[in-house]
Amino acid sequence: MSVARSGTFRLAGRLEVTRLGFGAMRITGPGIWGPPADPDEAIRVLRRAVELGVDFIDTADAYGPEVSEDLIFRALHGADGYDGVVVATKGGLTRQGPERWAPVGRPEYLRQCLQMSLRRLGLEQVPLWQLHRIDRRVPREEQFGVLKEFVDEGLVGLVGLSQVGVDEIRAAREAGLEIASVQNRYNLSDRSAEDVLEYCEAEGIGFIPWAPMAAGRLAQAGGVLDQVLQAHPGASPSQVALAWLLRRSPVVLPIPGTGSVAHLEANCAAADLELSEQEVTALEAA
């Protein structure tokens, strides 16, 4: 088993990653708060992901907070750094408890987020650093400006944005930022970011869908997804959802996350699931 069949994508045309990656949010505690119940299993998940060919891991300083980045360092950092694995992280969201999130986009805070992530991950440069949310209380030009400073200073290789609209991506690019990725909620049952995905595809920007395996009502018995599953014995709804994302656009980089090795292996198997044109069309029309 390997995710290699998912293909590759070059972020900003130069940083190549395997398209089916791993989202490291779920290796934390309930509510994305505190440590996981079994830290050793979380470390096994991360190492197994790499064994299966995953070379793109997405995390954030807010996951835990700090817990996800710490576990990634423990699991994967060695004498040669991350040895071919691209670890992307995010900053700009604060935590007030389980499932509680609040954006803070003051430039000095974003700089602190980055510096602390560099320390926890053991990096001199983050390959891809994403603004977790734009803070509406801070002029967005100030937030874009400090991201450009990170790149100019060599602290960040590439930058991305999370949960944004097309106008915000355009504003960031007009401010002098090269946007390598956009991370928005997008899946079979929630395609509210369709215009963002289409813009990213037209501009060659990587699109990282979060909550990629949600299927909602499409997973109900007798529905389109159920019919697809009958044609692929042994496949799961999550695998179909991931396979559909991989077919949806060549710029899509799904990052399914889990705290279980068994679930990880099942998710990675989606790279081998081949949907027919008719199945893809039916899912898109549902």
63 is catalytic: yes
> Which stretches does DSSP call E strand in the chain?
8-11, 15-18, 22-23, 56-58, 86-91, 93-97, 100-103, 126-131, 156-162, 179-185, 206-210
- Residue 139: DSSP 8-state: -
- The DSSP bridge pattern shows strands 15-18 and 22-23 to be unpaired
The amino acid at 143: Q
Q: Structure tokens of 32? A: 């994305």
* Closest residue by Cα to residue 271 from 235, 246, 252, 238: 246
């019919």: which residue's tokens? Answer: 227
Annotate 163-207 with DSSP letters as a single string.
S--HHHHHHHHHTT--EEEEEEE--SS--TTHHHHHHHHHHT-EE
Q: Which residues contact 185 (CB under 8 A, 6 or more apart)?
A: 163, 192, 193, 209, 210, 211
In terms of Cα–Cα distance, which of 44, 43, 102, 96 is closest to 67?
43
CA nearest 255: which of 104, 83, 59? 59
**Which is the catalytic residue, given 63, 82, 186, 199?**
63
Active site members: 63
